[in-house]
Amino acid sequence: MVTAVVSLVLIAVGVVLVGVLLTRPRFYSRMTPWSGDPWANWMRRHRLSVAEAGELEHGVARGREFFDPRLRAAAVDWAGLQLKAYEPGRGGRIAIGVYVILVVGVTCARVVAGDRVSWSGPVILVVFGVLAVRQRRQLRRAIEANR
């Protein structure tokens, strides 16, 4: 009974995750190619010291608000660059969707057949999905707080 309930919950989470991955903005990918070093370009563009840049990077990752107008502009710019870097192409979204469907399908088939189930695949999907959504939410929070 517990296995069936857990399987249904994982199916529900998997279906939602597939929907999010296929319809939302893209967030798993390689970094987009920039000319030069994006960190150095960003520091130069906003005239930041190394200490300010480190503080900004730490604060942006946590969605913090800054009070200096120069730091606010830099925080919005850095969060926007990071959001763009997380966007995969259409092929990446399709690959993630296929992987999710396979893991959920195999897990459900094994539960229905009464076989022993390895929960590592669904657990990894859930953990990475939660971490990715949380990171994007923090970056958006940093942009909204510093506009």
Question: Above pLDDT 70, what percent of the chain?
Answer: 85
pTM for this entry: 0.62
Between CA 96 and CA 19 the distance in angstroms is 11
pLDDT over 90 (residue 76): yes
Q: Are 117 and 3 in contact (CB under 8 A)?
A: yes
pLDDT over 90 (residue 72): yes
For residue 141, what pLDDT band results from cuts at 50, 70 and 90?
very high
Between CA 145 and CA 59 the distance in angstroms is 11
Q: Which residues of 32-46 are buried (b: 16+ CB within 10 A; e: fewer)?
A: eeeeeebeeebbeeb
Give me the pLDDT at residue 27, please. Answer: 46
Half-sphere exposure at residue 13, Cβ-oriented, CA atoms within 13 angstroms: 20
pLDDT digits (tens, 9 = 90+) for 48-65: 888 888 898 889 988 899
